[in-house]
């Protein structure tokens, strides 16, 4: 296997005196390109955390965040689109992205023509050259999302396929695609799993934002948004067959872009599954942001299913402020060692006039029956309309360690930050703060 991965830089963690220490993973990035960060905890070594901070750029720590190494990864098939990094139970790391062999983006028909997967067996130091999935130069692939079986090497990946990305031509369609692999090397021929196609504009009427989860029982669930609704499809035979009729979970009222640098993707639905051995095992959690309370009051919502998606409860509002401000771009994860649920999102409750933004973390230790929330950013920032703040945060959690990740803009420059939060510390501080408020 061809191995690549020259180390470029080593960062000492930059921390502050905030309630939760913020670590800046990048310097100031002078770019108008969207940045969607991704982060993964090595499931066999909590000291090893790997973050994707660009289409071809990763940073990782092997000592629990004291030092961070950064590597620029170049491959023959090219790198484009938002990266996604995941870890399996054995500690093998996998990095997914779309391709751009020519490096010319939209100016070449090979742009987005396939999905690429790389593997690292040495905690992110080096990565394989890359395995292509579903090569088809006549179609475009965007918004890749992979998942790995909790106990086996079985993996699957979903993405949006466009006839032509960004086209407004009549009849141009977008669809959700699925592919699977027993070992991460050989992949099945992609199949369409979405019942109703969307357009190709990458907006509200586009089929987009597919997220997939898989339980230890092998059952696979995928959700996505299309035409102001959120859909679910599922497979009980490792992705060989799917529902004939997709399940409509709920409305997705993304009315317009926020008056800042976040586009309509600020409300993309995100899915998580509790596969722990706790009492809420099997619960699916779907989170999103929308404006059902008005265009000036975006909120974070969560809905649950305890019966494999046949029935979903009533949406509950996660942000607990009393303001008419924006909370948006949620991401969700479940700690599979205990079933705790964590959401991270951008929040403007403290500055309705200026759009100053903080980052909040909400968590539940009782299966989503109720949530606590806490601010985790050490200082606010103001999104810059001239520098697209990418529309998603990210988060991972394992064995009591929580690792949110987010972008911020300061003076027209973008950076990426994280915080390494211990579950016991989080719960203790939140409980202490609640007690203090009650006494007052």
Residues 200-225 have a mean pLDDT of 95
How far apart CA 229 and CA 145 sit, in angstroms, is 19
Flag whether pLDDT at 6 surpasses 50: no
Q: What are 358's strand-pairing partners?
A: 347
Q: Are 130 and 116 in contact (CB under 8 A)?
A: yes
Residue among 69, 83, 67 nearest 34 (CA): 83
How many other β-carbons are positioned within 10 Å of the β-carbon of residue 38? 23
How far apart CA 113 and CA 106 sit, in angstroms, is 11
Q: 439 vs 81, which has greater pLDDT?
A: 81
Flag whether pLDDT at 261 surpasses 70: no
Flag whether pLDDT at 141 surpasses 60: yes
What's the pLDDT tens digit per position in 236-259? 999 999 999 999 999 998 766 675
Can you say whether the dihedral through the CA atoms of 285, 286, 288, 291 is positive or negative?
Answer: negative
**Which of the four pLDDT bands, split at 50, 70 and 90, describes residue 150?**
very high
At residue 435, the pLDDT reads: 46
Range with lowest mean pLDDT among 136-150, 170-184, 276-290: 136-150
Residues 14-18 have a mean pLDDT of 38
Q: 184 vs 347, which has greater pLDDT?
A: 347
Q: Are 59 and 70 in contact (CB under 8 A)?
A: yes
**Which of the four pLDDT bands, split at 50, 70 and 90, describes residue 438?**
very low
Flag whether pLDDT at 158 surpasses 70: yes
How far apart CA 224 and CA 325 sit, in angstroms, is 26
At residue 420, the pLDDT reads: 97
The share of the chain scoring above pLDDT 90, in percent, equals 64
Q: Are 224 and 210 in contact (CB under 8 A)?
A: yes
**Rama region for 217: left / alpha / beta (φ>0; ψ in -120 to 50; rest):** alpha
**Which of the four pLDDT bands, split at 50, 70 and 90, describes residue 104?**
low
At residue 289, the pLDDT reads: 94
* DSSP at 228: T
Flag whether pLDDT at 5 surpasses 70: no
> Would you call 400 exposed, middle or buried from its count of C-beta atoms within 10 A (0-12, 13-18, 19+)?
middle
**Which of the four pLDDT bands, split at 50, 70 and 90, describes residue 283?**
very high
At residue 28, the pLDDT reads: 61
Can you say whether the dihedral through the CA atoms of 396, 90, 274, 290 is positive or negative?
Answer: positive
Q: Are 265 and 252 in contact (CB under 8 A)?
A: no
**Which of the four pLDDT bands, split at 50, 70 and 90, describes residue 96?**
very high
At residue 354, the pLDDT reads: 80
Give the CA angle between residues 278, 282, 285 to the nearest 5°. Answer: 105
Residues 359-370 have a mean pLDDT of 97
In the numeric block, the tokens 């989860």 are attached to: 213
At residue 288, the pLDDT reads: 96
- Residue 53: C-alpha distances to residues 36, 393, 408, 430, 431 (Å): 7, 12, 12, 30, 33
Flag whether pLDDT at 208 surpasses 70: yes
At residue 17, the pLDDT reads: 36
The share of the chain scoring above pLDDT 70, in percent, equals 86
Residues 6-22 have a mean pLDDT of 52
At residue 247, the pLDDT reads: 97
Flag whether pLDDT at 431 surpasses 80: no
At residue 2, the pLDDT reads: 43
- Residue 270: C-alpha distances to residues 183, 238, 294, 416, 428 (Å): 26, 21, 21, 20, 27
Residue-averaged pLDDT of the chain: 87
Q: What is the CATH number of domain 3-439?
A: 2.120.10.10
At residue 57, the pLDDT reads: 87
How far apart CA 390 and CA 265 sit, in angstroms, is 9
At residue 77, the pLDDT reads: 75
Domain ranges of the chain: 3-439
Pick from 294-298, 300-304, 322-326 the range whose average pLDDT is largest: 300-304
At residue 26, the pLDDT reads: 82
At residue 436, the pLDDT reads: 45
């Amino acid at each position: 296997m061809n191995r690549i991965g020259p180390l470029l830089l080593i960062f000492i963690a930059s921390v502050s005196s905030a309630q939760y220490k913020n670590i800046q993973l990048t310097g100031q990035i002078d770019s108008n390109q969207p940045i969607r960060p991704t982060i993964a905890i090595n499931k066999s070594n909590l000291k090893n955390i790997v973050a994707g901070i660009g289409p071809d750029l990763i940073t990782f720590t092997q000592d629990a965040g004291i030092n961070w190494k950064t590597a620029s990864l170049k491959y023959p098939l090219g790198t484009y689109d938002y990266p996604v990094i995941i870890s399996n139970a054995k500690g093998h790391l996998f990095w997914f992205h779309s391709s751009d062999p020519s490096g010319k983006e939209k100016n070449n028909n090979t742009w987005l023509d396939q999905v690429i997967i790389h593997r690292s067996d040495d905690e992110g130091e080096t990565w394989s050259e890359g395995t292509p999935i579903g090569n088809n130069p006549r179609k475009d692939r965007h918004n890749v999302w992979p998942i790995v079986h909790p106990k086996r090497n079985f993996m699957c990946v979903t993405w949006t396929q466009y006839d032509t990305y960004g086209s407004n031509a009549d009849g141009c369609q977008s669809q959700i695609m699925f592919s699977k692999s027993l070992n991460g090397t050989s992949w099945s021929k992609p199949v369409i799993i979405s019942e109703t196609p969307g357009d190709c504009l990458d907006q509200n009427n586009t089929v987009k934002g597919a997220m997939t989860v898989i339980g230890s029982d092998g059952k696979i669930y995928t959700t996505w948004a299309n035409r102001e609704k959120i859909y679910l499809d599922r497979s009980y035979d490792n992705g060989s067959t799917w529902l004939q009729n997709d399940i409509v979970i709920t409305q997705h009222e993304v009315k317009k872009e926020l008056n800042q640098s976040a586009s309509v993707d600020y409300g993309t639905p995100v899915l998580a599954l509790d596969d722990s051995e706790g009492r809420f095992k099997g619960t699916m959690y779907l989170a999103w942001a929308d404006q059902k309370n008005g265009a000036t009051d975006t909120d974070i919502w969560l809905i649950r299913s305890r019966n494999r998606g046949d029935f979903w409860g009533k949406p509950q509002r996660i942000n607990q402020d009393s303001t008419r401000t924006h909370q948006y771009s949620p991401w969700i994860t479940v700690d599979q060692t205990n079933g705790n649920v964590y959401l991270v999102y951008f929040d403007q409750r403290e500055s309705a006039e200026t759009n100053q933004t903080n980052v909040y973390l909400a968590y539940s230790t009782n299966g989503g029956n109720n949530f606590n929330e806490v601010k985790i950013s050490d200082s606010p920032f103001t999104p810059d309309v001239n520098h697209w703040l990418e529309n998603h945060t990210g988060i991972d959690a394992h064995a009591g360690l929580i690792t949110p990740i987010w972008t911020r803009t300061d003076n027209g420059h973008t950076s990426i930050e994280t915080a390494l939060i211990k579950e016991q510390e989080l719960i203790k501080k939140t409980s202490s703060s609640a007690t203090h408020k009650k006494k007052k």
